[in-house]
């Protein structure tokens, strides 16, 4: 039975707090195993990577076979039906168009004291993209991770994808080709993350690693952070739908299940001001579960972590939304902008009754790599700036240094850093001669 909360109940605050703090994923104790794998790859390079690939993916290959070449990519593309390939291309074009608007502006100006100031944005030189492998891989994630890097101007975009038993979804290779990925290697797990971070004879190291993975991949990303940058450590997917009683209950049920089917630890939450509608949605969810191919996963997610919250007025929902800080937020209400303007914490927002979350997963344009587990309170989805660095610059001439240098010397002296102050005062003294 899905959890039902009513905001007017005396115990609502405590019950809602339990929902917020509920742990939806058991952290596998893999840190030591991952540390050992990373150390081994650092020490033995390709040899270690090949051994782990044989052990975990049941593939015995040589270093020369790690890379997926052009002929294999072309063969995979030929296996994709034309309409699906065109859909991938349309998605890529829309994702590229949206992300091209994220390229940050540089600044270069002279302030009132005559000091030249500014900042310059430059791309990282190489980015690594981790893609989960096998038949259940997601080509949409290839586009979402690779295209922002390409728009940012990253020269080398490297993809790693495990191919257990030699199996790879041809759509993944097609998406990589469309996105302009530079290199593709048939490896996965912590060993792939280590190879990207530290390099081997075959795989040159990258500067940043992005993309989702299992507990081993997540732990590896944590452990190599500092050697390279990472995007985020993503948790199970989640959706919050705010819907009034004028909606179609079947539509909303489908939206809730669109995230529940990802993972048994995913979470789907409905906030509504209509108890009768809430009943209708719950009934519609049960009906939909009878037809879904992933009904077992979606059903367990809904039963274990699904929540329905009934409030008196949806205008008051903003505080609940911000507390949840959902990865995905649907506002299926009459005036979605009015509620949207009150919300601060959400990874991505879907406005109106005709904007299901799934449209953002594939084709709309904004990125679907989003903060989970309430991290939308302080972080954002993947974008072009994640593949860029900001460098500031300062330029003084004699006149501008004389205007601001004295204050800097005083502050340096106050901090007891004499060499700091002297590096400025020797120049100021020269100007007095």
Name 22's Cβ contacts closer than 8 Å, sequence gap at least 6. 305
Tokens of 417: 């850093």
Note the pLDDT tens digit of each residue in 304-347.
Answer: 999 999 999 998 899 999 999 999 999 999 999 999 999 999 99
Note the pLDDT tens digit of each residue in 113-149.
Answer: 999 999 999 999 999 999 987 656 789 999 999 999 9
Name 203's Cβ contacts closer than 8 Å, sequence gap at least 6. 46, 49, 66, 158, 183, 185, 195, 196
How do the residues of the chain divide into helix, strand and coil, expressed in percent and rounded to 5?
50, 15, 35
The answer to whether domain 3-25+235-364 and domain 31-103+123-230 are alike in fold is yes
Which residue from 398, 423, 421, 399 is spatially nearest to 410, judged by alpha carbons? 421
Between helix 170-179 and helix 70-79 the angle, nearest 10°, is 110
Q: Quick one: pLDDT band at residue 96, thresholds 50, 70, 90?
A: very high
Residues assigned a catalytic role: 327-328
In this predicted structure, what is the pLDDT of residue 257? 97
Q: Is 358 exposed, middle or buried (0-12, 13-18, 19+ CB in 10 A)?
A: middle
**Residue 116: beta bridge partners?**
110, 395
Q: Quick one: pLDDT band at residue 234, thresholds 50, 70, 90?
A: confident
Compute the distance between CA of residue 89 and CA of residue 166 in angstroms, rounded to an integer. Answer: 26
Vertex 147, ends 143 and 152: CA angle to 5°? 165
Record the pTM: 0.94
Side-chain-side CA neighbours of residue 56 (13 Å): 20
**Residue 391: beta bridge partners?**
120
351, containing H or E segment: strand 348-351
Please state the separation of Cα 416 from the chain's center in Å. 43
Mean residue pLDDT of the chain comes to 95
Q: What is the mean pLDDT of residues 263-275?
A: 95
DSSP at 300: H
Q: Quick one: pLDDT band at residue 247, thresholds 50, 70, 90?
A: very high
- Say if residues 178 and 89 touch (Cβ distance below 8 Å): yes
Name 45's Cβ contacts closer than 8 Å, sequence gap at least 6. 195, 199, 200, 201, 202
Note the pLDDT tens digit of each residue in 344-402.
Answer: 999 999 999 999 999 999 999 999 999 999 999 999 999 999 999 999 999 999 999 99
DSSP 108-144: EEE-TTS-EEEEEEEE-SEEEEE---BTT--HHHHHH
Domain regions of the chain by residue span: 3-25+235-364, 31-103+123-230, 396-432
What is the fold, at CATH topology level, of the domain defined by 3-25+235-364? Answer: Rossmann fold (3.40.50)
Query: Is 31-103+123-230 a CATH 3.40.50.970 domain?
Result: no
Note the pLDDT tens digit of each residue in 162-183.
Answer: 999 999 999 999 999 999 999 9
Q: Is 246 exposed, middle or buried (0-12, 13-18, 19+ CB in 10 A)?
A: exposed
- 396-432 is classed in which CATH architecture? Up-down Bundle (1.20)
Q: Quick one: pLDDT band at residue 406, thresholds 50, 70, 90?
A: very high
Asked if the model's pLDDT at residue 213 lies above 90, the reply is no
User: Measured between alpha carbons, how far is residue 188 from residues 40, 54, 149 in Å?
Assistant: 15, 11, 20
């Amino acid at each position: 039975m899905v959890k039902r909360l009513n905001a007017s109940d005396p115990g609502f605050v405590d019950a809602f707090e339990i929902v917020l703090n509920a742990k939806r994923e058991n952290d596998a104790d893999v840190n030591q195993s991952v540390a050992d794998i990373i150390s081994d790859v650092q020490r033995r390079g390709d040899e270690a990577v090949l051994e782990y690939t044989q052990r975990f993916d049941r593939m015995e290959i040589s270093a020369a076979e790690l890379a997926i070449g052009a002929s294999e990519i072309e063969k995979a593309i030929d296996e994709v039906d034309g309409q699906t390939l065109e859909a991938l291309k349309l998605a890529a074009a829309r994702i590229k168009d949206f992300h091209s608007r994220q390229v940050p502006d540089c600044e270069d100006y002279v302030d009132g004291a005559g000091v030249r100031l500014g900042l310059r944005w430059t791309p990282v030189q190489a980015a690594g993209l981790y893609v989960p492998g096998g038949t259940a891989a997601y080509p949409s994630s290839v586009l979402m991770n690779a295209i922002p890097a390409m728009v940012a101007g990253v020269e080398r975009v490297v993809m790693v994808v495990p191919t257990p038993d030699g199996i790879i979804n041809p759509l993944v290779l097609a998406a990589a080709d469309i996105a302009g990925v530079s290199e593709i290697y048939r490896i996965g797990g912590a060993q792939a993350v280590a190879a990207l971070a530290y390099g081997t004879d075959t795989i040159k190291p990258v500067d940043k690693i992005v993309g989702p993975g299992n507990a081993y991949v997540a732990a590896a990303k944590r452990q190599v952070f500092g050697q390279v940058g990472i995007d985020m450590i993503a948790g199970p997917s989640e959706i919050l739908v705010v819907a009034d009683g004028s909606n179609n209950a079947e539509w909303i049920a489908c939206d809730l299940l669109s995230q529940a089917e990802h993972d048994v630890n995913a979470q789907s939450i409905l906030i509504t001001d209509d108890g009768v509608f809430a009943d209708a949605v719950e009934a519609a969810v049960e009906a939909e579960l009878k037809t879904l191919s992933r009904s077992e996963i979606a059903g367990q997610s809904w039963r274990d972590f699904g929540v329905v919250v009934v409030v008196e007025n949806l205008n008051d929902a903003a505080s609940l939304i911000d507390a949840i800080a959902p990865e995905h937020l649907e506002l299926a209400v009459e005036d979605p902008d009015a509620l949207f303007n009150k919300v601060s914490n959400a990874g991505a927002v879907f406005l109106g009754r005709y904007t299901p979350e799934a449209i953002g997963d594939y084709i709309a344009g904004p990125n679907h790599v989003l903060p989970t587990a309430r991290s939308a309170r302080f972080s954002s989805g993947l974008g072009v700036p994640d593949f860029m660095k900001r460098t500031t610059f300062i330029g003084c001439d004699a006149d501008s240094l004389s205007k601001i240098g004295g204050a800097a010397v005083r502050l340096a002296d106050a901090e007891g850093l004499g060499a700091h102050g002297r590096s400025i005062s020797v120049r100021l003294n020269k100007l007095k001669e």
